[in-house]
Amino acid sequence: MSDLPNIPELTVSDIAGAIKHTLEGAFGRVRVRGEITELKAYASGHVYLALKDESAKIRAIIWRGNAGRIALKPENGVEVIATGRITSYPERSEYQLIIERLEYAGAGALLARIETLRLKLQAEGMFDPARKRAIPLLPRVIGVVTSAQGAVLQDIKTTIARRFPRPILLWPVAVQGEQAAAQIAAAINGFSNLPPDGPIPRPDILIVARGGGSLEDLMAFNDEALLRAVAACSIPIISAVGHETDTTLIDFVSDRRAPTPTAAAEMALPPRLELLADLAQKAARLAGALAHAATAASARLERAVSKLPNLPQLLGSARQRLDDRAERLTLALPNYAAARRSALERLAGRLIHPREFLARNRNQIALLSHRLEAPLPGRLREARLRVENLSARLNAVSYESVLQRGFVLVTTPKGAPILSAAKISPGDALNLRFHDGEIAAKAIPKQGLLDL
């Protein structure tokens, strides 16, 4: 009990400060491997999380100033290696890691991350061959997205100058590190947004390239934002990342994949000498084809000409026939008039003078008149006797002659004859016709037929 006064008395703040100083002095900068958990991003921009393994857990913070510079996007369940400083939070008596850098923990974690992203983009159709654009045969300007230093750019420039010299528009970027993916995506978007007729020539094709490296070195070309920028670019893209055996996700999204930057330049441009040789060959073939066609056409024309009649000879024959017809026409009119005149004279000789014609007709009329007048009275008497005979015979059979002998014709008031007494009913009106007149009567029963 006597030793207690010798122990110095410390406040809670003193203890917290001493622990904080001890932690920061003993550890300094550390690299901690663990699985991200309890991830939470605040509106202030700070990111709070924890790193855990099988038996322990440590709190961690990414301040807003570092959050934008960290290339790896933290997610729960991802195993990472965090680089930072160990410190403490006195108000909670907790120690924590202030993270300055994040990277995937080992190749296995990187490959798993890449495979997960590959399956996601494949499900969205970003790898479909149908969406890939054709590479232009002879681009006017070639855009290159790569580092301004290193052999990659020099290889591309040398290959283009050798195959077919064309202007190169370089957008220098970092091809490795935390800011590489963002810079490459910005370069691709910048090229794609250039106006076709602006002051800066718009490339007809883009080459995204870098040299070989480890899986960690090439992780920028597996970044999702970069891959989506490649898919959205309106300019055909050739990817040439790493060596021939290296494969990144940009190779699946780009329109063509080249094994090396030199191969990408060869894909972008055809060899000029081969094009000239091919053009000369095709020009020779075209000239030969035209000469053959001209020869064949000339032969056909000569055959056709040989089958045509002799035009000067035809024209001479036609001219001769025309002269002959003109001469005959000149003589035909007088000959025709002479023939008509001769015929008219012959007809005139056969004509009778009108005086003779009138005298002859007058004699014939007198003869016919005499012959007509001689038998006419006798013929009239004979005709009159025949008519009188027929009239007597007609009167003999007439009912009027019967009435003159004392008979009466009984008719209806309308004049229809009554031929039988049975057709007369008592009280019927009758008409009695005598030879010298008619009277009206009415039929009276038992007292006679007449009512005078």
Question: Which CATH code fits 12-104?
Answer: 2.40.50.140
Q: Which of 16-25, 144-153, 239-248, 443-452 has the lowest mean pLDDT?
A: 443-452
pLDDT band per the 50, 70, 90 thresholds, residue 239: very high
**Strands 29-41 and 79-89, sheet pairing:** antiparallel
pLDDT above 70 as % of the chain: 94
Q: For all residues of the chain together, what is the average pLDDT?
A: 84
Q: Domain residue spans in the chain?
A: 12-104, 113-274, 399-442
With 60 as the cut, is the pLDDT of residue 450 above it? no
Structurally, at CATH architecture level, domain 113-274 sits in 3-Layer(aba) Sandwich (3.40)
Q: Please answer whether residues 44 and 64 qualify as being in contact, where contact means their C-beta atoms are separated by less than 8 angstroms.
A: yes
Q: Which of 162, 26, 5 is nearest to 88 (CA)?
A: 26
pTM: 0.48
pLDDT of residue 93: 78
Q: What is the pLDDT of residues 401-417, one digit of tens each?
A: 777 777 888 888 887 88
Looking at mean pLDDT, say which of 144-148, 209-213, 432-436 comes out highest: 144-148
Mean pLDDT along residues 423-427: 82
For residue range 376-391, list pLDDT tens digits in order. 677 777 888 888 888 8
CA separation (Å) from 390 to 141, 255, 377, 394? 140, 136, 20, 6
> Tens of pLDDT along 165-219?
899 999 999 988 778 889 999 999 999 999 988 899 999 999 999 988 777 778 8
